[in-house]
Amino acid sequence: MDKLKVAMVGCGGISNLHLNHLASFDDVEFVGFMDIRSEKALEKSTMVGGGKVYDDYVTMLDDAKPDVLYICVPPDQHGFIEFEAIKRAIPFLVEKPMALDMELAYSIRDAVDKAGLVTAVGFQDRYLDIITKTKELLKGRTVGLVDGQWIGGIPNPYWWTLYSTSGGQIVEQNIHLFDMLRYLFGDPARVYCAGARGIVKREGYDLHDYSSTIITFKNNVIATLFTGCYRQGKLSNNNGLNILCVDANIRYLLRESVEITTTDGSEMFIKEVNQGVTADRAFLDAVKANNPALVKSPYADACKSLALTLACNESIATGKEIILD
């Protein structure tokens, strides 16, 4: 396989990022773009200088016969797209969150497994050089408490402000940090989450403005994560994680740096590598080599992060702690 034929469904904001990365690879050929807003598909085809625009997704798969598919649709639009790709044995990269209920996510996971397909989920931060460094710094250290946050305003996408279309801020956005906790500390055992409303006054908005989550991991690490979308202006939010080890503080500043402080002093590492490029390259290399192990966030693993964030929603709704499998 010299060139990989790439097709894309959902041609909005995040597709720009993937396309910029893919266009920098010399083994990629764009063969199809589909979006329910056809002007978006045309925009992306024009942006990369090629690739037929389709108004029907199934026709695109059958006509363009892509080697890989990028699925970049809103969170509530999954299911049909994945199953049509799986039926045709087309490996796919799907953006997080990959579904808004675990029944659907697990049925896709099981179908992927049965078909033996390479898949990837857009947890790009797993490919950060500073996260590799964080893992190195954590080696041999004992961690008790972790705290962290993803606080900001309300993002632009038209589907973002409703639970039914986005899943809420934890599921849609802070899922990156929840996934990072899993990547660094393993499987969670239970989770409790409190959420509140009342600050954001806006038509067509039913999300919680902020929430606080306590996760107990199977290895007894306890993490507290803040999530908030009620802030305005350019306030510094210090998003990221504080990891309190027995003999060190490790501060991961979201997609920027990691700093370790011990009694001997501090050392700071600044991000040097574009994690999005690395993530897309890893997926394509995994497809070319038919080696799923090259992907750091395959569909089955990503299901565990999705389940954790959906359990937060359940905890907010019920007021109860949720025990995880």
The site for ligand NAD (CB under 6 A) is made up of 9-15, 34-37, 40, 72-75, 77, 95-96, 122, 124, 157, 172
Angle at 316 (CA atoms; ends 311, 321), nearest 5 degrees: 60
Estimate the crossing angle of helix 57-64 against helix 80-87, to 10 degrees.
20
**Shortest Cβ 218–ligand NAD spacing (Å):** 26
* CA-wise closest residue to 299 among 130, 78, 150, 131: 78
Cα gap 51→45, rounded to integer Å: 5
**Phi, psi of 154, rounded to the nearest 5 degrees:** -100, 120
If the CB atoms of residues 82 and 95 are measured against ligand NAD, the closer one turns out to be: 95
Angle at 86 (CA atoms; ends 34, 306), nearest 5 degrees: 85
Contacts of 103 (CB under 8 A, 6+ apart): none
**Shortest Cβ 226–ligand NAD spacing (Å):** 19
If the CB atoms of residues 43 and 261 are measured against ligand NAD, the closer one turns out to be: 43
SS3 call for 312? helix
Cα gap 185→148, rounded to integer Å: 14
**Shortest Cβ 247–ligand NAD spacing (Å):** 33
**Shortest Cβ 91–ligand NAD spacing (Å):** 18
If the CB atoms of residues 141 and 255 are measured against ligand NAD, the closer one turns out to be: 255
| Residue 291 identity (one-letter amino acid) | N
If the CB atoms of residues 150 and 230 are measured against ligand NAD, the closer one turns out to be: 150
If the CB atoms of residues 34 and 311 are measured against ligand NAD, the closer one turns out to be: 34
**Alpha carbon of 71 to those of 9, 10, 107: distances in Å?**
5, 6, 17
Q: How many CB atoms lie within 10 A of CB 186?
A: 12
**Shortest Cβ 77–ligand NAD spacing (Å):** 4
Q: How far is CA 68 from the centre of its chain?
A: 19
Closest residue to ligand NAD: CB criterion: 12
If the CB atoms of residues 77 and 257 are measured against ligand NAD, the closer one turns out to be: 77
If the CB atoms of residues 143 and 177 are measured against ligand NAD, the closer one turns out to be: 177
**Alpha carbon of 14 to those of 8, 19, 20, 74: distances in Å?**
11, 9, 10, 10
**Shortest Cβ 14–ligand NAD spacing (Å):** 4
- Report yes or no: 9 and 34 within 8 Å, Cβ to Cβ: yes
**Shortest Cβ 99–ligand NAD spacing (Å):** 10
